[in-house]
Structure 1
């Protein structure tokens, strides 16, 4: 005769005690359940006396941060992406194009640098031209030939120094005169030196500045970008260092 307390009809083993009167038999795991798991419809085991439940984040506390080396969480499907980085505003572009201080050179600084450059290029020519003129006026044929040679040498020195000044302006933005006055010639579009070719073209375009009573050289006095006619043709500006 089977034990009524044994759902499987098994008899207690040797030495095992039978449940006393009024006592419930030990719970047997249900079909398909593993030992130690709660049965169907039974609540999970609660923590024992003195044990703390798993900590939940309090109200207003930030969620846990990702560990070292872990990438940040990506936005879920349909979530708007983060704001793109701010675009450079007009002031930043203006600042980039107009040099480190963002200030255009004044007319007095430009005129001072121009005078210094042409004194450097013109002074040797002027000295050699005077010597040649004095020799040519002596009356002798040999002296006149030597005088003409001095004039040619002076002209060659002048154009050589002028090309060197243009090269310095185009590659570095500063000739000796501009360096002494603390100003720099740059492209109005990129803010960088314009190169030898464009600087040479700008020097030729100064012809427009002197075409009508040298009005183009005075134009920076009231122009909003302080440009001469040559600057407008070549899209250049002169800025302070």
Structure 2
């Protein structure tokens, strides 16, 4: 394309950066980055976000950080990429810092993708207080009814090891059911994991019944969670 004197544009560069990511070739990505600078496309938010995402996912974290800091404008997709990549790179506290920076410095409004990435960071980093604080923020902002956010909350509480916290996963799940939310395989398997950790057979059986009613009992993740729950609750015969 370039040899035929056809100039790339703001739609071309995100595809090029995605290709470099798929090939796990940050060197190739750097060449595309240099070309984007030369052709004055790097200030486009989608081009810049794609370059940042490429550096993050190919392990060039210093370049990714520099790229993010130098962006002239950041939309919510940019912030989501930053927070999510921090989680993927096993740096949950950096994900939390970026979320706080988003709320403090940006006009972009966080969405369900942002909240789920934050909850993943809290789960991975055992950051219980921060996760609970976000739950309060979600309730206050009316975001708790979003199905993906509900899944994230249940998963977060289900992964907590303390009994009073693990019970919160069941509580959030029951609140969702009362609100008419249909249980998903991810939601049910997360609650069953919480029941297994708490060794609460009665609650586990209730969730099992809901899984049967929702026709997701045979889902591989739900089935595995059921076996684990009954085993840890000392009811193998079930």
TM normalised by structure 1 equals 0.17
Q: Of Structure 1 and Structure 2, which has the larger fraction of its residues in helix?
A: 2
| Structure with larger Rg | 1
Which structure's residues are more often strand, by fraction? 1
